[in-house]
C-alpha cells in the first residue's frame, strides 16, 4: 500500500512539474508555419532544420545523458511528443518561435525530470520558483494522500473483468501480462496505473518508449503486407511486437493514434501496451506492442480446428461485442469517439486462450464525434481487403462523408466472418473444411473487378450448405448473416443488434440444453 501511495505522490508531483514549466516553452506563434530550429543531434545533416515546432530533449540511459535539439514536423507528431509529461528517463521541451531552442541548455531540460536534482528552471527567478514549488507542495502532498486512498477504493471496487483482461489475456498470440518477481512494475500494473495519467488505452507515451527499448524479440510468428509480427519478452512476459515496414508509416501512426483513444480498452479489442519508433541495425523500425495470443488469428485457428456450436457462438458473440464497442460513441469530457474499422476480416480478429475473440489491426480506422460532427479518416490511402468489401465500396457509391456508411461496411464484413465460423462449426458430426468467402466465385487472389462483378453485378453471396438449415443454431446464424449482406447498406443490422441477436441465440442454446 505504501508503495502505491508513493506512486501516486510521484504522479501528482509529475503533473505539478509539467504545470510549472516556463511559459515560454509553449508560446504560440508560428505553429502553423515552418519554424527555423537549431538542430543538434546525430541525425541532423545541417545545423538548422525546419518544422512545426522546435524541441529540446534529454534521455537518461545506461550510457549517460543524451541531449538533443531539433524540430518536429506535422501537427500529429507535435501533439504526440509535446503533450507528453516528463518521466524519470526522458523529457522534452517544445517551443514555437524561430530558433527558440537555441539557448535551451541541457540542465534546463534535465530540470523537468521528476527524479532529477532540480536546478532553477530557465525563466524563473529564485523567489518565483520558491513561491511556485513550496507554496503548493503541502497541498499537493495532501491531495496525493487523498488520491491514493480514493484510487485504492476505486481499484478494489472496479469490475473484476478489467483486472482479468489485463492479467490473463495475451496480445497477438499468448500468455498475457503476469506478475514477476523482479520487483519492478509488471505490464499489468503499469496499465492499471495509467488510468491516473490520462492515458486512453496504453501507457503514457514516454513510458511506452522505455518499455519498447527493454523488449527482446524471440521469434517471428507472422508476416504480411504491413511487415512482421514477433513474439517478444519484457521482464519475462510475452508480448506481441508488430513491426511495420517503413513504407507503412501512416498505418503505424494511425494505429498508434487509435489505440491511444480514451476509453477504447475493452475485453474484445486487442490489448495495446506501447508504440515506438526505434532504430535497430542502422534502420528505423516502427513498433506496435500489444498483448500476445498464442492461438493467433481467427483465420489461422479455423484452418487448424473445427468448433462445436457453443464455441462458435462464443467466438461470434465476442467479436460482435468488440465491433459494437468500436462503433459506439461515449459522450462526455473523457468520452470516446465512434470508430469504424474499415478492414474487418478473420485475419484481423485474434483468438484468446479462452476461445473468445478480440479485434485488432486498426490502421485503416475512421473516427467520428457528434460534438463537432468531425469525420477523421486519417491520411492512409489504402482501402480494405477486396474479398470482404461491401457492394458500395466495390462500385464506389459509398457516401464517404457519412460516418454511418463506414459502420455498414464493417457489418457487411462481419457477416463474412460469421459465415467462416459457421463453416467450421460441427452439426450432427458434420463440418466443412475451411474456405474463404466467395471461394467458389472468384480466383484465389481476386482483383477489384472480379469482386465487383460477383458482388455488385451478379449479386452473389457466400455459399450456404443445406445441412445448416437442419440445425437450429446454424439456421439462426444464416438468417443473421443474410441481414448483414443486404445490397442496400441502410437495410443492414447495426453491430449492436448483431451482438444482441447472437446473445439471444446463445440463450436459446442454454434453454434447449436445460430442457
The set of residues, in sequence order, having a beta carbon less than 8 Å from that of 481 and lying 6+ positions away, is: 415, 418, 419, 422
Residue 284, beta-bridge partner list: 279
Q: Return the H-helix or E-strand segment holding 8.
A: helix 2-19
What is the fold of 170-290? Phosphorylase Kinase; domain 1 (3.30.200)
Question: Is 451 in contact with 394 (CB distance < 8 Å)?
Answer: yes
**CATH number, span 298-514:** 1.10.510.10
pLDDT on residue 396: 93
For 381, the grid coordinates are: 490511402
Tell me the H-state helices in 328-457. 391-394, 403-423, 448-452
104, 122 in Cβ contact below 8 A? Answer: yes
Enclosing H/E stretch for 217? strand 216-224
3-class secondary structure, 69: strand
Measured CA to CA, the distance from residue 419 to residue 344 in angstroms comes to 13
CA 149 to chain centre: 30
Residue 515's pLDDT is what? 58
Helix ranges restricted to H, 73-125 = 75-82, 106-110
Cβ-based neighbour number of residue 281 at 10 Å = 5
Q: Hey, where are the domains in the chain?
A: 23-123, 170-290, 298-514
Give the CATH architecture of domain 23-123.
Answer: Ribbon (2.10)
- Cα separation, 469 vs 303, whole angstroms: 23
Q: Is the dihedral of CA 465, 469, 470, 471 positive or negative?
A: positive
pLDDT along the chain (515 residues), means of 10: 44 43 40 75 82 87 80 79 76 87 85 58 45 55 63 43 33 31 43 39 56 84 85 88 86 88 87 82 83 95 96 96 96 86 96 96 91 83 89 94 96 98 94 96 96 97 95 96 97 97 88 66
| Other residues' Cβ atoms within 10 Å of the Cβ of residue 76 | 16
pLDDT (0 to 100) of residue 48: 87
- Give the catalytic positions in this structure: 343
Spacing of C-alpha 498 from chain mean position: 23
> Is the separation of the CB atoms in 79 and 198 below 8 Å?
no
- Spell out a b/e string for 136-154, using b for 16 or more CB atoms within 10 Å of the CB, else e: eeeebeebbeebbeebeee
How far is 196 from 184, CA to CA, in rounded Å? 18
Amino acid at each position: 500500500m505504501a508503495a502505491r501511495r508513493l506512486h501516486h505522490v510521484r504522479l501528482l508531483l509529475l503533473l505539478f512539474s509539467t504545470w510549472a514549466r516556463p511559459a515560454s516553452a509553449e508560446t504560440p506563434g508560428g505553429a502553423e508555419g515552418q519554424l527555423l530550429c537549431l538542430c543538434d543531434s546525430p541525425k541532423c545533416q545541417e545545423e538548422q532544420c525546419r518544422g512545426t515546432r522546435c524541441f529540446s530533449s534529454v534521455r537518461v540511459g545506461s550510457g549517460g545523458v543524451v541531449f538533443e535539439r531539433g524540430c518536429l514536423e506535422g501537427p500529429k507528431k507535435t501533439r504526440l511528443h509535446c503533450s507528453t509529461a516528463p518521466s524519470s528517463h526522458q523529457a522534452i521541451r517544445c517551443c514555437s518561435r524561430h530558433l527558440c531552442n537555441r539557448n535551451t541548455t541541457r540542465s534546463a531540460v534535465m530540470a523537468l525530470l521528476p527524479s532529477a536534482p532540480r536546478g532553477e528552471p530557465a525563466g524563473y527567478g529564485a523567489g518565483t520558483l520558491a513561491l511556485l514549488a513550496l507554496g503548493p507542495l503541502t497541498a499537493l502532498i495532501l491531495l496525493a494522500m487523498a488520491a491514493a486512498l480514493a484510487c485504492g477504493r476505486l481499484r478494489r471496487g472496479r469490475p473484476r473483468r478489467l483486472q482479468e483482461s489485463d492479467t490473463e489475456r495475451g496480445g497477438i498470440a499468448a500468455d498475457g501480462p503476469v506478475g514477476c518477481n523482479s520487483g519492478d512494475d509488471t505490464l499489468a500494473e503499469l496499465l492499471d496505473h495509467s488510468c491516473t495519467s490520462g492515458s486512453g488505452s496504453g501507457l503514457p507515451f514516454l513510458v511506452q518508449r522505455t518499455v519498447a527499448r527493454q523488449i527482446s524479440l524471440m521469434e517471428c510468428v507472422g508476416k504480411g503486407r504491413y511487415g512482421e509480427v514477433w513474439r517478444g519478452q519484457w521482464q519475462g512476459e510475452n508480448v506481441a511486437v508488430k513491426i511495420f515496414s517503413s513504407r507503412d508509416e501512416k498505418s503505424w501512426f494511425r494505429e498508434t493514434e487509435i489505440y491511444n483513444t480514451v476509453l477504447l480498452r475493452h475485453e474484445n479489442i486487442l490489448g495495446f501496451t506501447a508504440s515506438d519508433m526505434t532504430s535497430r541495425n542502422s534502420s528505423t523500425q516502427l513498433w506496435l506492442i500489444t498483448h500476445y495470443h498464442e492461438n493467433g488469428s481467427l483465420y489461422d485457428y479455423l484452418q487448424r480446428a473445427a468448433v462445436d456450436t457453443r464455441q462458435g457462438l462464443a467466438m461470434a458473440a465476442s467479436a460482435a461485442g468488440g465491433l459494437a464497442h468500436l462503433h459506439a460513441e461515449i459522450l462526455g469530457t473523457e468520452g470516446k469517439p465512434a470508430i469504424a474499422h474499415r478492414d474487418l476480416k478473420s485475419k484481423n480478429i485474434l483468438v484468446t486462450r479462452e476461445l473468445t475473440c478480440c479485434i485488432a489491426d486498426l490502421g485503416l480506422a475512421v473516427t467520428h464525434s457528434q460534438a463537432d460532427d468531425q469525420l477523421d479518416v486519417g491520411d492512409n490511402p489504402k482501402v480494405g481487403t477486396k474479398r470482404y468489401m461491401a457492394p458500395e465500396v466495390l462500385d464506389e457509391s459509398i457516401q464517404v462523408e457519412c460516418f454511418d456508411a463506414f459502420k455498414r461496411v464493417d457489418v457487411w464484413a462481419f457477416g463474412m466472418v460469421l459465415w467462416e465460423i459457421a463453416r467450421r462449426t460441427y452439426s450432427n458430426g458434420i463440418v466443412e473444411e475451411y474456405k474463404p468467402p466467395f471461394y467458389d466465385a472468384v480466383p484465389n487472389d481476386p482483383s477489384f473487378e472480379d469482386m465487383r462483378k460477383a458482388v455488385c453485378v451478379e449479386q452473389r453471396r457466400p455459399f450456404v450448405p443445406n445441412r445448416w438449415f437442419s440445425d437450429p443454431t446454424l439456421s439462426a446464424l444464416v438468417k443473421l448473416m443474410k441481414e448483414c449482406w443486404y445490397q442496400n447498406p441502410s437495410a443492414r443490422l447495426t453491430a449492436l443488434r448483431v451482438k444482441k441477436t447472437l446473445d439471444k441465440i446463445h440463450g436459446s442454446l442454454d434453454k434447449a440444453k436445460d430442457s
